[in-house]
Each structure stands twice: as structure tokens, then as C-alpha cells.
Amino acid sequence: MYLFDLSVVCVCLACLIPSTRSLPWKVEPGKHHEQRNWEQRNFDTVRKIYDLTIYPNQLPILQQGAAGVPPGLFNEEATGRVDPVGNFSGFEDSIEYFFALAPVPSTNAASTAISRIQITEFSSACPDVAASVVYLFCNVEDQSADNGKALAPLKEVAFWKFDRHGAVLKYDAWIPNLNDWIEAGLGIQINNPQVAAQSIQQLCGGTQQRCTGANQQWDTVEECIATLSGKQYGNYDEAWGDNIVCRTIHLVLTQVRPEIHCPHVGPTGGGKCVDYAYPLQYFSDEALYGDKLGETFSCHDHH
């Protein structure tokens, strides 16, 4: 059981309560049926993505990887950013963030699971662009007396770009106050030296279990602990960097694609858990999306 598996997984990451499974359309004079159709289609795509983060809906994806993702949700070239976790290029990177990081109660110290999510705001003024605000509600799920106990919720704000079939092609999301949520959920202060030392030990133990053979990163757990103890711990409001927080996130992802993510938890950070001077990566829209700045999530081509 890893203390900090919880810290990364509820971040996306998302889902929808049954009472909000369709948009409460108001038929406005002059509003075309075509627009209502694309709004509903885009809403349904976003809802289905978040539905798959509700425990245990994500388990087939953890077990099968990309093959476990229903068709039509993400384009094969899906690319985006989720602040404060990082940039994601391609289908597999994207689905790992949205689904593989969703918490499994048996693998985090607080037995946290996403129980429901509500899309509180949604707008789609053109066929290929939408914006959403989602509240992620989490509960304890175990066999203890605390089963069903409500935990602190999360919020995710996102812009979406869809292909002509309604699958997500590009996205830009933000999770505010993630570090506060981590501390509230676990009842700890992550800058406490004892907490940091314990999480490094668990990170190193998990790395040795999951990253073996050609994916091995350390000769021993002790080598890992000694090296990582000399690095910055980081915080969950800025998870990019050569720090412990970033490696904790990527340790979760090693269960899906160890050949990709094991280098990220190793001594060099594998090009992912590395330091970037601000504002590099944070404003790299043109490189990430291949569009001129300000054009990716704009409806300017639709009148």
C-alpha cells in the first residue's frame, strides 16, 4: 500500500451523478437543432470520460491499457495539458492521465475512491470546442466503519477541442488547490520531514517492485532512498520537476506502461520529472498543440 498513490489519482482526474446525465436544454427561439445536437454530443463525450474515473469503472483500463478504453472518447492524436501534472502527447499518454490515475481504494492509505462527479458548468458554442467545470466527489471505500465517509472534493476546469466525430483531440485543464486537497485527504503536512522520508521509502520500494529487468532503475532500495533524499520534495500544486512528487505520480503509471514510466521514477527523471525554468512548458501552447497562440480553443471559424 502506497501512502501517496492517493495524491495523484483523484486529480483527474472525474464522473457524473445520475441526475445530470443530460443537459437541461432550454429551447430558445431561433436556436437551431444542429447546435443543440453538437452541444449534447460534446457534453456526452466529456461525461463518458469522467464516468470512467468512478471506481471501479477504471479497472479494465488499468488491466488492459489502451485496449480497455471505449472507442470514440479520445482521438488517436489526443494531446493536452493538465496543470499542475504536466503535458501529455498522444492517445496513451492522455488516457493514462484521465483513467490510470483515478484512485483505487486498496492502493492508497486513505482508501479513497471517486464516488460521483457533477459537471457544474458546460458550454459549447461551436461543434469542435467546449469548456467545462467538474466537481469530483470522493469517499472512503473499504470494510471499516468509515466506509462511505465523504472526503474533500476536487475541482477541474477544462477546455476541449473535438474532432469531427466528437472525440477529444486537444485539451487544457487545471486542478486548483491540489496540494491542499492532498493534505486534507491524508491529514498530513507534506513538508513534514517524517512524511517526506516515509513517502521516499514507499516510492523506492514500489519502484523496485514494478520496475524490473530492462526497466530497473536502481540497484537497491537503499541506493534509491539515498539519492532521492537529496532531491527537492516538491508540492502538488507544481508537480513538474526533478522532485519526489513527480516521481510519485509516475510510479502509479508504471502499472500501465512500465517501459515508459519507469525511467520517470529513476535517478534522471527520464525527461519527464526534470526541472523546467518558469515559464517553459507552462506556456508552450504552439509546440504542444501545433496552433498559433489563442487559436486552439477558439470558435472564430464558426459563425
Q: For residue range 102-118, list pLDDT tens digits in order.
A: 889 988 888 999 999 99
Calpha distance 133→159 (Å, rounded): 9
Place of cell 487545471: 174
- Report CA torsion sign: 270, 275, 277, 278: positive
Q: Higher pLDDT residue, 173 or 32?
A: 173
Tell me 36's DSSP state.
H
Is residue 289 pLDDT above 60, yes or no? Answer: yes
Whether the Cβ atoms of residue 82 and residue 100 lie closer than 8 Å to each other: no
- Domains in the chain, start-ordered, CATH in brackets? 5-186 (3.10.450.50), 193-265 (no CATH)
Distance from chain centroid for Cα 168: 15
Report pLDDT for 34.
63
The more confidently predicted of residues 300 and 62 is 62
Query: What pLDDT shows up at residue 240?
Result: 86
154-159 own/partner pairs: CB under 8 Å, 24+ apart:
154/10, 154/11, 154/13, 154/178, 154/181, 156/12, 156/13, 156/14, 157/131, 157/132, 157/133, 158/46, 158/131, 158/132, 158/133, 158/134, 159/129, 159/130, 159/131, 159/296, 159/297
Q: Give every CB contact of residue 123 below 8 A, 6+ residues apart in sequence.
A: 130, 131, 132
E strands, the chain, are 74-83, 86-89, 112-126, 129-140, 150-162, 168-174
Q: Is the peptide bond before 24 cis (omega within 30 degrees of 0)?
A: no
**103 contacts 6 by C-beta, under 8 angstroms:** yes
* H or E segment to which residue 192 belongs: none
Confidence at residue 176, expressed as pLDDT on a 0 to 100 scale: 94
| Structure confidence at residue 6 as a pLDDT band (50, 70, 90) | very low
Judging by DSSP bridges, how do beta strands 112-126 and 150-162 pair with one another?
Answer: unpaired
Using one digit for the tens of pLDDT, what is the confidence trace for 27-38?
455 555 566 699
pLDDT: which is higher, 204 or 191: 204
Indicate the SS3 state at residue 85. Answer: coil
- For 256-259, which contacts have Cβ atoms below 8 Å and span 24 or more sequence positions? 256/61, 256/62, 256/65, 256/96, 256/100, 257/65, 257/92, 257/96, 258/210, 258/211, 258/215, 259/214, 259/215
Q: CA-CA distance, 44 to 67, in Å (whole number)?
A: 21
Grid cell 463518458 is found at 48
Residues 150-176 have a mean pLDDT of 95
Q: What is the pLDDT of residue 282?
A: 76
47-57 pLDDT, tens digit each: 999 999 999 99
Q: What local confidence, expressed as pLDDT, does residue 32 receive?
A: 53
User: What is the predicted pLDDT for the residue at 278?
Assistant: 77
Least confident of 9-13, 21-25, 108-112, 130-134: 9-13
